[in-house]
A = this chain, B = another copy of it.
Amino acid sequence: MEITISSQVKDPERIRQRRAEIVRAAVGLFAEKGFHRTTTREIAQASGLSTGALYEYVASKEDVLFLVCRHIHHTILQQLKASLAVEGPAVQRLRQSIQAFIGVMDSMQDEVLLIYQESKSLPSPFLHEVLRQESEITQVFDNLLHEGIRDGSLRTSPKNVPLLAHDIVVAGQMWAFRRWALNTMDFADFAASQTERLMEACGS
């Protein structure tokens, strides 16, 4: 069910490396100018390829956007899941994950904004895959919340869990998509305040 982007090039390792370069270049360009104002020539040049060579690794400009979005979500999810590898009651691991997540949002502001603003330009199957990945992030918190209710460390009803999970994700992401208004605020303050507020909302 994993979507694969076809390539003219045979060597899988070469594909992996070149596409990593393409994604790295495209993230910068898309974040700066947006998807539509970025040309395929610019992407090619910034990844050290010619126009033609770029099209050996992707079939369309939309493919590039999809690779970018997938990479971003993959990175976020990887870092988020790493933060789960601690012992203790669910409430403690929840706090840990919220802090970790907000930290990731801080380090990936451009990327988060990019997904909010440009994912609409993805062809439908790509968009669905990207939204599925986004759900995976929410699901991490969903699971933690249910665990906390089960082990008694969180006092809230299971029927609140789905929305609470979304609230956590959005509370973290807003540091990225509302930085134009929040940049008067210190990041450490933001992270601490949001974490406390969310933990309380979760019944900690």
Contacts and interface: CB of A to CB of B under 8 A. Distances in A.
A163 B135 contact: no
A197 B167 contact: yes
Contacts of A181: 131, 134-135, 138, 166
Nearest to A180: B131
Interface string A168-188: 001100100110111011000
Nearest to A36: B36
A50 interface: no
A202 to B, nearest CB: 10
Contacts of A170: 170-171, 174, 178
A200 interface: yes
Nearest to A190: B163
A193 interface: yes
Contacts of A49: none
25 contacts: A34-B120, A36-B121, A116-B117, A131-B180, A131-B181, A138-B181, A160-B193, A162-B184, A162-B185, A163-B182, A163-B185, A163-B190, A163-B193, A163-B194, A166-B181, A166-B182, A167-B171, A167-B197, A170-B170, A170-B171, A170-B174, A170-B178, A197-B201, A200-B200, A201-B201
